[in-house]
Each structure stands twice: as C-alpha cells, then as structure tokens.
Amino acid sequence: MDKQTLSFQAEVKQILHLVTHSLYSNKEIFLRELVSNASDACDKLRFEALDNAALYEDAPNLEVKVWYDETAKTITIRDNGIGMSADEAVAHLGTIAKSGTREFMAKLEGEQKKDANLIGQFGVGFYSGFIVADRITVESRRAGAKPEEGVRWSSEGSGDFEVETITRAERGTDVILHLREGEEEFLSQWKLKSVISKYSDHISLPVLMKKQKWDEEKKEQVTTDEWEPVNKAAALWTRSKSDITDAEYQEFYKQISYDSEPPLAYTHNRVEGRTEYTQLLYVPAKAPFDLWNRDKRGGVKLYVKRVFIMDDAEALMPVYLRFVKGVIDSADLPLNVSRELLQESRDVKAIREGSTKRVLSMLEDVAENQKDKYAAFWEQFGAVLKEGIGEDHANQERLSKLLRFASTTADSGVSFADYVGRMKEGQEAIYYITADTLAAAKNSPQLEIFRKKGIEVLLLTDRVDEWMLSHLYEFDGKPLQSVAKGGVDLGKLQDEAEKKQAEEAAEAFKPVLERLKTSLKERAKDVRATTRLVDSPACIVVDEGDMSSHLARLLKQAGQSAPGAGKSKPILEVNPEHALVKRLDASERFDDLAQIIFDQALLAEGGQLEDPAAYVKRVNALLTA
C-alpha cells in the first residue's frame, strides 16, 4: 500500500480536541491507557493462540516494553501481542464504531470535562496519547502475517492521518509519542517507572524498561541495554489477602473501573469445591451516569486461569447488581468459553449465585456496622437494588432487609426491621404510600388518621417502588398495606367509641352521599364517608385489587396504557365533619361544589386535571357568589 492520507471520523475529531485541550487534569493517565492497550493486545494473542499456536511465531514470551529517546523527544510503548493489519489500523485508530460516542460527548459537558477517567469507559484510550504528544506514530504487524505486511499509521491529531505499508520483522505494535513542547518531564526513567508502578502493577505480564546503573566516571545514572521488569507482573486477585494492603486494593479498583474515587466496599475470596474461582468485587462510592441503562453490561471482568476472556461478563452478576465492579477468575471454565456458552454453563450459574451472595453479605456487613456508609450507598444505588426483589426470588428475604425508606418519622434510612420494632400494640400491618415526591407523600390526605394516632407510614417515592411492591407482600409475617387502597381498617387501633361515632355519621350523611354519587357518576366508581380524614374534605383511593393512581400515572408518562385504562375509576372518600362537605347539602351549586371537591382530592393525591379551565371557572364562580 502506498502512503494514503485519510480523514478521521467526525466524532474522533471532537474527542481529539477535547482530549488535547480540556479533558485530562492528570496528564500521566496517558501511559496507563497505552500500557493497558498493549496488555490487551497480548491477552488477545494468547486467546487466539489457543487454537493456533503458530501465532506465537518465534517469540512465545509476551511482554510490554517502554522506553524514551531524550534526543528525539519520543516515548515508545511496544507490545508483542496480536498486532494490526493495515485495514485494522484504519478501523481501530481512525473511527469509533461502538464506543458510545454520543453518550461520551454528552458526559463531557458542564463540570465533567476534567474527569480523567471517562476516556477508558468508551474504548478511546489510544487518543489520550495526544495529551502529551503533538504527533503519534504507530507501527504494527499482525501475528501470522508476513514481514512485508506491516503498517505505519501517523497523525498529528488534527483532521487527518496517514497510513502506509512497511516491512516489520516483529509481530505486535509500537506506539511512538512525539512529545509536544513542555512535556519533557516524561523523558525520565524515574517518572515513567513511577507512573507504570502506580497504574499498571497488576498487569499479568511484565512491563519492561531498560535498566539504569550508576556511572562512577560521569557521576550519573546511565541507561544500559539490559531490560528489567518495573511491575510485579502478578494479577492482584491471585495474591494472598494477607499480602495485599488496603491501598493496593483501592488502586486496583481505580485501574479496572476508571473511577477516581475509592470504592465504598470490597470483598476478596477464593472459592473451592465443585466449582473453583477467585472473586475480587467492589461496590463503587458513586453511581455511574448510565446506571439506569438495564442493557448495559455489568462491570465484572472474566478470566480463566489468568487468561483474559471478556470484559463486562454480565452472566456472572444479576442485572440489579450491575453497579458492582471487579474480577472473577475461574479454574473450571473452558478457556474458549463464548458468551453463548457462558449463559448456559452450570459452573457459571454457580459462580453467579456465589458472587451474588458474597455481594449481599458485603452490603449486610456495611448496613450493620457502618450505617453512615450504607446510607451513602443507598442514596446512590438503593433504587437499583430494589429491582432484585422481583428478579431474585431466592434472595428476596435478604434483599428486603437491606431496603431503606423515608417514613412519617424520618426522611430516610428506615428499614422494615426498624418499622416493625416501632409498630403500635395491636398494629397488624406495615402501612405505606407511594407518591411522585417526598413532599407529596408527606402531605397526602390519606395519612391524616395515621398521623393523628401516631402510626408510622412508609413513604415510597422511587419509580421502581410500585413494581417492587407487586412482588413483595409481607415482611416478618406482617403484610404490606397501602393507605390509598381499599377502606381504612385500623382494626385494634380504633376503639369502639370511634367506630360507633363513624357509623352514626355515615348513616346521617347517606342522603348527601347519594347526591354525590349521582353528580360524580362519570368520574368516581363510588363515593363514601371515611374516617381516614381529619383536616381534608376528601381524598381519592382505589379498590384493594385495582392499580394505584400513582402507577397509572407512571405508565402514562412512559407512553404505556394501564390495563383496563378508561374503565377503572377511583373512589372518592369524603369527610362528613369537614366544613366544606357540610356546606354541600345547603348549597345551590351542589354539582359545582361536588366537582371542585373531587378535583381538589385529585390534585392533593398528585393527579392532573383533565379540564383545569373548568375547575378554575367553578372556583371563581363560588368565590364571587
């Protein structure tokens, strides 16, 4: 191939500009990215060579070499991994095929531009070389190809790149960074060593640099032709827990997660038995921006006998734990395991179940012994953990103990166990209400009788709560009961005098109820007197078996029609003791006042009026009468 000049994909131009001018606050990250890429290339060769050992050619020992040339002002990162053909160089270095560019660009807006760890999340780490280089040259030959089938790729990181065929004896890739002015600090053995040690110590193959020794005549360190490893070349998870410091665990987490903050918690275990594997799993401190993308694969990397198999092995962790990061290294899976086999393997199922239980045990320990830290976890990941109630029936009881809620006594952090421990004598159910916001839940008219009697009610405001409650019916033998469904029955919590008084009031109020039913027949399934209200004139409820109004609204917002939509009507409960309700019987505008009471109840419950203008007109008419 003669030398060709090609243009970058449009998105690459944008990323190159951001990388060069605004993305990285920590420039040394570029070396981590390029060494990681070199390690990946060696992993890929090792994997492909399982079926074709000839790919090793005459160099079976995989390694990464890093050196600098002070005169030429270059840094070179060399690997003897899988290498690239000319077509692959164009495809991998000139375009971004499936790297989530749109999401990546959106994430860089605003205050996120200084996040030094975003690049790695989108597979564009190669471009980080332009942080310190004004030109990058890549020379490569794919394993198994002829020497004359090598390729040279070169670019100044602007709009174009050049590619040409070269003769290259060695397989693998050289990435040559031509440093820009002001970046000479990286032309230092000590600097490069320290960066590699900081970021690449866990890589499972040696990272080599030329050895230096003291020259007595020159009174300085001189570089020799002897290569020496600058990393431990041992996967951290394979080492004994007693030999690993907390700082090493935290640094390894940052390397695999591209998170600048330390993890909230981690667990490291070797599991033996019928299925043998090692797991090193982390819970992040902060939720990623794409946490709610359920199609996003998990953050667990799969190794088999220290041979890298795949990133994001979603079969090893349930979807509701998709925030977990880490490594699982199996001794039992076949080395050529595919994603399809991974889904079907009995050993994978055992690993998944064991890893899930280990994560839950870790969260239980944090919840029990580090309540502030668990509160921080819940704020970030609690809504996602709730998905497990319906998806993981085997662990539903354990998960239910990890749930936390707001209630009428606390704005956060209330567990089911806390609630049960505070239940009134004679209370038989766990009461809850769902709403769009905490303020709406707190001020709901349905809570008035519970507040009057000092009965705690859980306030559920996450969008996932309604779905979760369709799978969770009780805790510790206590049924969960919505205060906005069915008639309120406080059982033993309501004395006989109150019941008798309510019955007498309802009997006396019957004529008004009948008129209300007639007036509201198009909007309400039923109208009835209630004892659940204290300060409000009315409230909206639904029958015990009907879909809640809150869930119906959520479905409508999502563009879905609720089952039975248009057929099921709510129930209006009115407070016979309220002054506005008492005015009904003597009002000349009975129908208008009935409609206003219904609309107000609907608004108080968080609903929306179908005809706001009609409501305003009725209110104005009454105010000016």
CB distance 14 to 105 below 8 Å:
yes
Query: Is 387 among the domain residues?
Result: no
Separation CA 46–CA 63 (nearest Å): 11
β-bridge pairing 265-271 and 430-434: unpaired
Residue 264 has pLDDT above 70, yes or no: yes
Quick: pLDDT tens for 522-535.
998 889 888 888 88
pTM score > 0.75 for this model? no
User: Whole-number mean pLDDT of the chain?
Assistant: 84
Most confidently predicted of 18-32, 186-200, 300-314, 371-385? 371-385
Question: At 559, phi and psi to the nearest 5?
Answer: 80, 20
Q: Is 179 helix (H, G, I), strand (E, B) or coil?
A: strand
Q: For residue 276, is it within any domain? A: yes
The phi, psi pair for 282, rounded to 5°, reads -125, 145
**How far apart (Å, rounded) are the C-alpha atoms in residues 282 and 327?**
9
Contact between residue 198 and residue 170 where contact means Cβ atoms under 8 Å apart: no
Does residue 393 sit within a domain? Answer: no
CATH number of the domain where residue 426 is located: 3.40.50.11260
- Predicted pLDDT of residue 99: 38
Whether 208 and 329 share a structural domain:
no
- Please indicate, yes or no, whether residues 249 and 223 belong to a single structural domain of this protein: no
Number of structural domains, the chain?
4
- Residue 55 is predicted with a pLDDT of 95
- Cα–Cα–Cα angle for 128, 132, 135, rounded to 5 degrees: 85
Closest of 575, 536, 320 to residue 448, by C-alpha: 536
Question: How far is it, in rounded angstroms, from Cα 567 to Cα 496?
Answer: 37
> Any idea what DSSP says for residue 39?
H
206 and 270 within one domain: no
The CATH code of the domain that includes 271 is: 3.30.230.80
Higher pLDDT, 314 or 196: 196
pLDDT above 90: residue 610: no
* CATH number of the domain that residue 106 is part of: 3.30.565.10
568 secondary structure, DSSP code: -
Do both 107 and 125 map to the same domain?
A: yes
SS3 of residue 277 by DSSP: strand
Helix (H, G, I), strand (E, B) or coil at 328: strand
Show which of 492, 523, 554 is a domain's final residue: 492
In 3D space, the residue among 466, 472, 459 whose CA is nearest the CA of residue 557 turns out to be 466
Q: Where do the H-state alpha helices sit in 220-320?
A: 246-257
Backbone angles phi, psi at 489, to 5 degrees: -135, 105
Check whether residue 242 and residue 367 sit in a common domain. yes
Residues 134, 258: one domain? no
**Nearest residue to 376 via CA among 289, 465, 286:** 286
CA 84/CA 91 separation, integer angstroms:
10
Query: Is the domain of 608 the same as that of 541?
Result: yes
User: In which domain, by residue range, is 181 found?
Assistant: 4-229
Ranking 124-128, 278-282, 375-379, 393-397 by mean pLDDT, the lowest is 124-128
DSSP letter for 386, please.
Answer: T
Q: Compute the distance between CA of residue 205 and CA of residue 291 in angstroms, rounded to an integer.
A: 33
95 within domain boundaries: yes
**pLDDT tens-digit map of 106-116:** 544 544 443 43
Q: Which amino acid is it at 619?
A: V
Higher pLDDT, 311 or 253: 253
Residues 158 and 53 in one domain: yes
Q: Is the pLDDT of residue 593 over 50?
A: yes
pLDDT at 491: 61
Q: Which residues contact 575 (CB under 8 A, 6 or more apart)?
A: 529, 530, 533, 534, 536, 537, 538, 581
Phi and psi torsions of 31, nearest 5°: -70, -35
Helix residue ranges, H only, 183-234: 189-199
**Per the domain annotation, does 381 fall within a domain?**
no
Q: What is the pLDDT of residue 471?
A: 92
CATH code assigned at 523 = 1.20.120.790
- Whether residues 167 and 263 share a domain: the answer is no
- Among 458, 492, 526, where does a domain finish? 492
Statement to judge: residues 480 and 365 lie in one domain:
no
Task: Tell me the C-alpha distance between 616 and 625, whole Å.
Answer: 14
383 within some domain: no
pLDDT score of 480: 94
Which residues lie closer than 8 Å to 432 by C-beta, 6 or more apart? 405, 457, 458, 459, 460, 469, 480, 481, 482, 483
Q: Which two three-digit tokens encode residue 25?
A: 């606050």
On whether both 158 and 255 belong to a single domain, the answer is no
SS3 label, residue 263: coil
Q: 447-469, pLDDT tens digit by residue?
A: 988 998 899 999 999 988 988 99
Residue 183 domain-assigned (yes or no)? yes
Amino acid at position 23, single letter: L
- Mean per-residue pLDDT, 263-281: 93
Hey, which of 100-104, 368-372, 571-575 has the most confident mean pLDDT? Answer: 368-372
Please state which of the ranges 18-22, 362-366, 374-378 shows the lowest mean pLDDT: 18-22
Chosen domain end from 205, 229, 253: 229
Q: Give me the amino acid identity at 496.
A: E
**pLDDT of res. 301:** 85
DSSP 480-533: EEETTBS----GGGS-HHHHHHHHHHHHHTHHHHHHHHHHTTTT-SEEEE-SS-
- Is 395 among the domain residues? no
350 and 410 co-located in one domain: no
Between 563 and 369, where is the model more confident?
A: 369
Is the pLDDT reported for residue 263 higher than 80? yes
